[in-house]
Chains A and B, each alone.
Chain A
Amino acid sequence: EDQVTQSPEALRLQEGESSSLNCSYTVSGLRGLFWYRQDPGKGPEFLFTLYSAGEEKEKERLKATLTKKESFLHITAPKPEDSATYLCAVNNNAGNMLTFGGGTRLMVKP
C-alpha cells in the first residue's frame, strides 16, 4: 500500500525567510510525484510533476526536487500570498489514482 507523509504539518515563516517542505513516500513503483497548492475552500491547484530521482522543477519562488525516498518543495524568499496548504501525491505503476499526503499548511507573515 502506498504511503505519503508530509512534514511539518504547519510552518510559520516571516516574509523573505526561505524554507523547505518535505514529502516522504513509500510506493510500489513510482510513476509520478505531484505537488499541489490548496487555498482555503478551494480545489487543489497543480504545481509540479516529478518522475525520477534527481529531477527538479521550478516556478517563481518554488522549486521541487525528488530523491528515491522523498521530495522537497523549497520556497525562496516567500511572500504572504504564498500562504496556503501544499499537498504532495504519488501515482504508482499499478493504476491511475493519486495517493495524497496530509499536507503542510504554510503561513507567511509580512
Chain B
Amino acid sequence: DGGITQSPKYLFRKEGQNVTLSCEQNLNHDAMYWYRQDPGQGLRLIYYSQIVNDFQKGDIAEGYSVSREKKESFPLTVTSAQKNPTAFYLCAAGRGAGTEAFFGQGTRLTVV
C-alpha cells in the first residue's frame, strides 16, 4: 500500500513538553513537507526538505524542528517554544519543483 503514513492520528501533549510527529513515505519522492492547518484556514508551510540531510524553514518554522536522515522519513518535533501548538499537522511528499505533492492523513495535536 503506497503513500504517506503519519502517526499518531491524535496526540495530546502537556504544556512545556516536546513531542515528535512521525511521517514516512514509500513513494520514493525526494521532496517532503510539513504543513500546519488551523480551523477554517488553508495550509501554512513549516519546513520542507528537497533531499536527505537538507531542509529549509517555511513561513512558520519558529518553535519547530525537523530532521531528514533517510529519504523515506521526515519527523517533525513540536517544541515547548511553540506558543500555539494545537493544530492539524499534515506531511506531504513530492517529486519536487512544479509537481504535485501527496499528503498523509494528518496528526491532530492538542495541548492540554
Contacts and interface: CB of A to CB of B under 8 A. Distances in A.
B17 interface: no
B94 A41 contact: no
Interface residues of B, number: 29
Contacts of B50: 96
A42 B97 contact: no
Contacts, number: 66
Interface residues of A, number: 27
A44 B90 contact: yes
A95 B97 CA distance: 6
Chain B residues touching A, majority SS: strand
A91 B43 contact: no
Nearest to A34: B100
Interface of A: 4, 6, 31-32, 34, 36, 41-46, 49, 51, 87, 89, 91, 93, 95-103
Interface of B: 4, 6, 31, 33, 35, 41-45, 48, 50, 56, 58, 90, 92, 94, 96-106, 108
Given A6-B42, A46-B101, A91-B97, 20 more contacts: A32-B99, A36-B103, A43-B90, A43-B106, A44-B103, A46-B100, A49-B99, A51-B98, A91-B98, A96-B31, A96-B48, A96-B94, A96-B96, A97-B45, A97-B48, A98-B43, A98-B101, A100-B42, A100-B43, A100-B44
